[in-house]
Amino acid sequence: MNRKKRAQIHMTETIAVLFIFFILVSLGIVFYYKYSQVAFKEKQQEILANRAIETVLYTLFLPELECSKGEAESEDNCVDLVKLHHANNTFLKHLDDYYFDLFSFSTIMIHQTYPENQTWTIYDKKKVKTLENGTVVPDWTTKLSTFTVITLRDDLAIEGRSVYDLGYLNVTVYS
Amino acid sequence: MGQQWGKNGTKAGQKKWQKRGQTEITFNWLYILIAGGLILLFFVGIVVKQQARSETQLSFDVVRILESIIKGASISEKTKNSIDISGLKDYTLYFSCEEGVSKYGLEGTSAQVEDVVQPVFSPTRIKAPRLNLWSIPYKLPYKTIDFLFVTSSTTKYFFVGQDENFVNEFFSQTEKELSGKKEVLFEIKRDFVTSVDVIDPEKYFHIRIVDVGGNTIKAGDSVPQKLRSLEDGQVTAVSFTAGNTADFFQKAGDTWMKRNKQPIYLISLGGERDAAKYAAIFAENEELYTCNMKKAFRRLQYVSEVYLEKLQEMEAYYDTPLRQVNYPDCIGNIKLFPTNLVERLELFQNKIAACAATYPEATASCTELRPLALTIQELNQELARNCATLY
């Protein structure tokens, strides 16, 4: 009887040790999983922020938009208004086969604030998905907007000289 | 059991119980070994899996950073960067371009970047502690895109032949740049030699010979003695021949092998900082060169579309009775004169599309791009006198 009891106690002890051991292992796995999730989200945010900066820089230096000056270097943070009136046609025409590789899922808007309020959307491609019933719904979880002050050069405003208006570039990236 | 032991307390019974006890102890140890082994195996499995995952993750991270560096350098014009990549000394970077898609990454890993937009001219393989990046704008005649030249501290360029102006210009463009703390900001290893026979490969990973005169490197000629010990892919050459063309060579045993069947036509306006010519120096072979040039032509098509529409708006602006009187040259240069921008730009646009399809063959469409671009440049200069310019 005594031996049986001792063996049972021994068995219960072993089970308890194993139970605690597996609880510790499970806790470790849960903790690691949570940590990985947070780290993954942080990395996604970092990548999104980098993409936002890259897209802003790409837009500011786009030959399709920038204020060129003959053979000289282009003007910094300046958009040619006449080119701007037409650039979105080209962007739209070659969106899927070319410009998507440059801007990915993003919306690029140029706002004129002075002398008039005007907005041009030059590129717009959001992440979307089509449901079974055919409805198209947004498929992005995070978006990040960046604003940059720019000048808008109008070469056809007054004969003989260029006029500079004020505005800002709004780039929104989605992931 | 305890009761039995009490009843049968004989010697034989005692022995039997001792045997049982020994078996139980052995069984316990076996149980511990198997269970411990299984637990250990479980953790070893996790470690091995994590190690493999970390290595893959690391290669993806490295390639992502490399992509950021390359994109960052190519966004703005005239960027000169020297990047310390000594942490990647065990890896070899590779660059390729096929059917308009550039691919680069780390050899031996699945991580790679694919890029259909940015023209990147580089050696096909780089193993070095420093990466040098240089971007210059490609203008035909207006800015189309920035060409990115990628080279390394273990690639050396040897210039040979008679075109002193070009060599001097290239050397002044690629002067070593140091920061205040004497840290290298940008450095392209290059040298001028009077004969290829004096070239010493030292410990460079890649030797590139640039024959600016076009008559030093010939297919079938012997490779300099000192370069014969290097692998075929480590010794390459470009030769600029008459008529604005280039030939690409590679060491094949002890002789030079010409890689391109037809001379590669360089499409540019010429002059200083000729991006198309510089690109031929940095692109290791004709495949990399033509593939990346095709990317540039594609962008040129799209940029020209915007300029064509801008020109139409300019035409509408100047085509009024009052402005026709006050600014006759404006509408004249835009569309009324025999040589006018609308007609030239439309023709230019058609030629680009045709050339992009046939390049690198020197078809009429490709050879006509340069004179057309020069005319557009002249007309734009005419407009600059008194009117709004095209670019």
Cβ-Cβ contacts under 8 Å for A89 (sequence gap 6 or more): B305, B309
Q: Is residue A24 part of a domain?
A: no
Distance CA B353, CA B304 (A): 11
**Residues A123-144: what's their mean pLDDT?**
93
Q: Which residue has the tokens 């411990």?
A: B36
Q: Is residue A3 part of a domain?
A: no
Q: Chain A within 8 Å of B322 (Cβ-Cβ)?
A: no
Cβ–Cβ gap B317/A156 under 8 Å = yes
Q: Which two tokens stand for residue B10?
A: 């004989």
Q: Among B276, B379, B78, B380, which Cα is nearest to A70's?
A: B380
Nearest to A57 among B2, B64, B75 (CB): B75
Distance CA B154, CA B129 (A): 8
Query: Total domain count for chain A?
Result: 1
Note the pLDDT of residue B72.
86
In residues, how long is chain B? 391
Minimal C-alpha gap between B305 and chain A (Å): 7
- Look at B13 and B26; give whichever has higher pLDDT: B26
Note the pLDDT of residue B3.
46
> Does residue A1 surpass a pLDDT of 70?
no
Note the pLDDT of residue B1.
42
First to last CA, chain A: 68
Tens digit of each residue's pLDDT (9 = 90 or more) over B150-199: 999 999 999 999 999 999 999 999 988 887 777 777 889 999 999 999 99
Which residue does chain B place closest to A62, by CA atoms?
A: B145
Whether this model's pTM surpasses 0.95: no
Note the pLDDT of residue B127.
92
| B71 band by pLDDT with thresholds 50, 70 and 90 | confident
In this structure, are residues B118 and B257 in contact, taking their beta carbons and an 8 Å threshold? no
Residues in A touching B271 (Cβ below 8 Å): none
DSSP per-residue letters across B235-279 = EEEEEEETTTEEEEEEEETTEEEE--SSPEEP-S--SSS-HHHHH
H or E stretch at A47: helix A2-60
Q: Is residue A45 part of a domain?
A: yes
Q: Chain B within 8 Å of A90 (Cβ-Cβ)?
A: yes
> Does residue B2 surpass a pLDDT of 50?
no
Note the pLDDT of residue B28.
80
Q: Is residue A92 part of a domain?
A: yes
Note the pLDDT of residue B147.
96
- Look at B281 and B43; give whichever has higher pLDDT: B281
Residues in B touching A162 (Cβ below 8 Å): 388
| B74 band by pLDDT with thresholds 50, 70 and 90 | confident
Q: Is residue A1 part of a domain?
A: no
The bridge status of strand B101-106 relative to strand B245-252 is: unpaired
Cβ–Cβ gap B313/A70 under 8 Å = no
Note the pLDDT of residue A158.
84
**Residues A40-44: what's their mean pLDDT?**
91
Nearest to A98 among B302, B314, B386 (CB): B302
Q: Chain B within 8 Å of A161 (Cβ-Cβ)?
A: no
Nearest to B384 among A3, A70, A80 (CB): A70
- Look at B161 and A4; give whichever has higher pLDDT: B161
Q: Chain B within 8 Å of A5 (Cβ-Cβ)?
A: no
Please give the share of chain B, as a percent, with pLDDT higher than 70.
96
Please give the share of chain A, as a percent, with pLDDT higher than 70.
99
Note the pLDDT of residue B77.
73
Cβ–Cβ gap B302/A90 under 8 Å = yes
Q: Give me the residues paired with residue B97 across strands.
A: B102
Cβ–Cβ gap A102/B77 under 8 Å = no
| B362 band by pLDDT with thresholds 50, 70 and 90 | low
Q: Is residue A23 part of a domain?
A: no
| Amino acid at residue number A175 | S
> Does residue A16 surpass a pLDDT of 60?
yes
* CB interface of B with A, residues 286-305, below 8 Å: 298-299, 302-303, 305
Minimal C-alpha gap between A66 and chain B (Å): 10
* CB interface of A with B, residues 39-58, below 8 Å: 47, 50, 54, 57-58
> By residue range, what is the domain housing residue A39?
35-174
Q: Among B311, B317, B366, which Cα is nearest to B340's?
A: B311
Minimal C-alpha gap between A88 and chain B (Å): 9
Start-end of H helices in chain B: 2-7, 11-75, 164-173, 275-282, 286-318, 321-326, 328-331, 341-358, 364-367, 369-386
Minimal C-alpha gap between B109 and chain A (Å): 21
In this structure, are residues A169 and A148 in contact, taking their beta carbons and an 8 Å threshold? yes
Predicted ipTM of the assembly: 0.88
Tens digit of each residue's pLDDT (9 = 90 or more) over B80-99: 989 999 988 888 999 999 99
Cβ–Cβ gap A85/B298 under 8 Å = no
In this structure, are residues B255 and B223 in contact, taking their beta carbons and an 8 Å threshold? yes
* CB interface of B with A, residues 343-382, below 8 Å: 377, 380-381
Tens digit of each residue's pLDDT (9 = 90 or more) over A43-71: 999 999 999 999 999 999 999 999 999 98
In this structure, are residues B214 and B240 in contact, taking their beta carbons and an 8 Å threshold? yes
In this structure, are residues B121 and B94 in contact, taking their beta carbons and an 8 Å threshold? no
Distance CA B264, CA B279 (A): 12
Which residue does chain B place closest to A81, by CA atoms?
A: B310
Q: How far is CA B198 from CA B211, B225, B226, B234, in A?
A: 14, 9, 8, 17
Cβ–Cβ gap B117/A101 under 8 Å = yes
**Residues A148-170: what's their mean pLDDT?**
93
In this structure, are residues A150 and A110 in contact, taking their beta carbons and an 8 Å threshold? yes
Tens digit of each residue's pLDDT (9 = 90 or more) over B297-311: 999 999 999 999 999
Q: Which residue has the tokens 């942080």?
A: A42
First to last CA, chain B: 104
Which residue does chain A place closest to B3, by CA atoms?
A: A1
| Amino acid at residue number B150 | V
The bridge status of strand B189-192 relative to strand B155-160 is: parallel
> Does residue B7 surpass a pLDDT of 60?
no
Q: Which two tokens stand for residue A114?
A: 């002075």
> Best mutation site among A1, A26, A42, A98 for testing chain B: the one with the most B CBs within 10 Å?
A98
Q: Which residue has the tokens 């085509």?
A: B319
Task: Reply yes or no: is the peptide bond before residue A138 cis, omega within 30 of 0.
Answer: no
Q: Where in chain B are the domains?
A: 294-386
Minimal C-alpha gap between B246 and chain A (Å): 26
Distance CA B232, CA B149 (A): 22
| B9 band by pLDDT with thresholds 50, 70 and 90 | low
Exposed/middle/buried for residue B222 (C-beta within 10 Å: 0-12, 13-18, 19+): middle
Note the pLDDT of residue B295.
96
Q: Chain B within 8 Å of A38 (Cβ-Cβ)?
A: no
Minimal C-alpha gap between A128 and chain B (Å): 23
What rounded mean pLDDT belongs to chain B? 91
Q: Chain A within 8 Å of B320 (Cβ-Cβ)?
A: no
**Residues A125-134: what's their mean pLDDT?**
93
Judged by phi (left if over 0) then psi (alpha if -120 to 50, else beta), residue B100 lies in left
With residues binned 3-state (H G I as helix, E B as strand, rest as coil), the percentages for chain A, rounded to 5, are 45, 40, 15
